[in-house]
Amino acid sequence: MFRRLKRMAKSAVDYVQSDRLDGTTPIPGSDEELAFPPLQYRRTVGPTQTVDFDNPSGQRIWGDLAIGPLEAGEAYGKIFDFGCGCGRNARQLLLQHEPPQRYVGVDVHPGMIRWCQKHLKRRGVDVRFDHHDVWSPTYAPENSRRETLPLRQYGDDFTLVNAHSVFTHLYERQTEFYLEECRALIADRGILRTTWFFFNREWFPVLAPHQHSLFVNDFDPSQAVYYDWGYLLDLLRRLELVIVHVNWTSKPGYQNEVYLAKGTAEDVSGGFTPPPTVLGFGGSEPPPYDGPE
């Protein structure tokens, strides 16, 4: 009796956590459909509403991306998704009228990758999801205790490498490693789509010259990592990357979307300068600092 009750309780929990509750979205012009990731996984990556995972109109999810070296639409050919989570962008891309030819997603979270492997596919599209066995106290506490693993073995002809809300969770040494790996993945005409929390280091005079990031959580500092804008420009210069487009955050202190392409330039910023919505760039001047009290 007790075992039967336990089994019933478990299947009720499985059902509530399953994707079945949220329905599916039909793939345009096909008899296929895609499920929504379960609520527990949506909570793990941030947005929980199914609308944030959907693309019922089948439009290109980031617009034409006629930026940097690319023609309109060209970026959507071969996509690498670094830190794909439970396939939010993958799902939206697969629902496009014109889906990518090839899509590869990697993430440290083994459960989310298993879910994507099982549920996110479309006939005629080469889709692959791989577990990236790197440690993270929040996302992957059971993984091997290593900070980085290469990505360049996946190829060098991706038209777009996407890293949405990933560099916002990586330590400086991981960021340097992975930005270089992402650069190695793109074709000469490819672009990187990245998001970042930025701050103006002039507002944090206690930072030593070798310190470029700020954290918010002492259990898992990588819960949110803010980077000095000037440091990113230096790093891009070293990696021979240039900024080709920026969508600045409209909400003070939130993520900024930065598009990068291969190249060298005196000014790698592409002329983009942080507006007042980026931490420490708005309002008044930083308070005067005369050294420690």
At its nearest, how many Å lie between ligand SAM and the CB of residue 100?
16
Helix, strand, or coil (residue 258): strand
Q: Which is nearer to ligand SAM, 45 or 192 (CB)?
A: 45
Q: In this structure, are residues 228 and 212 in contact, taking their beta carbons and an 8 Å threshold? A: yes
At its nearest, how many Å lie between ligand SAM and the CB of residue 265?
28
Q: In this structure, are residues 207 and 230 in contact, taking their beta carbons and an 8 Å threshold? A: no
Q: Which is nearer to ligand SAM, 85 or 270 (CB)?
A: 85
At its nearest, how many Å lie between ligand SAM and the CB of residue 260?
17
Q: Which is nearer to ligand SAM, 108 or 192 (CB)?
A: 108
Q: Which is nearer to ligand SAM, 34 or 134 (CB)?
A: 134
At its nearest, how many Å lie between ligand SAM and the CB of residue 128?
15
At its nearest, how many Å lie between ligand SAM and the CB of residue 154?
13
Q: In this structure, are residues 61 and 97 in contact, taking their beta carbons and an 8 Å threshold? A: no
Q: In this structure, are residues 123 and 32 in contact, taking their beta carbons and an 8 Å threshold? A: yes
Q: Which is nearer to ligand SAM, 102 or 169 (CB)?
A: 169
Closest residue to ligand SAM using C-beta atoms: 85
Q: In this structure, are residues 247 and 197 in contact, taking their beta carbons and an 8 Å threshold? A: no
At its nearest, how many Å lie between ligand SAM and the CB of residue 6?
31
C-alpha–C-alpha distance, residues 216 and 292, integer Å = 22
- Cβ-based neighbour number of residue 237 at 10 Å: 16
Contacts to ligand SAM by CB under 6 A: 45-46, 83-85, 88-89, 107-109, 132, 134, 136, 139, 164-166, 169, 174
Q: In this structure, are residues 187 and 137 in contact, taking their beta carbons and an 8 Å threshold? A: no
Q: Which is nearer to ligand SAM, 18 or 143 (CB)?
A: 143
Question: Measured between alpha carbons, how far is residue 275 from residues 97, 246, 253, 271, 285 in Å?
Answer: 35, 11, 11, 12, 14
Q: Which is nearer to ligand SAM, 88 or 201 (CB)?
A: 88
Q: In this structure, are residues 90 and 25 in contact, taking their beta carbons and an 8 Å threshold? A: no
At its nearest, how many Å lie between ligand SAM and the CB of residue 85?
3
C-alpha–C-alpha distance, residues 195 and 209, integer Å = 24
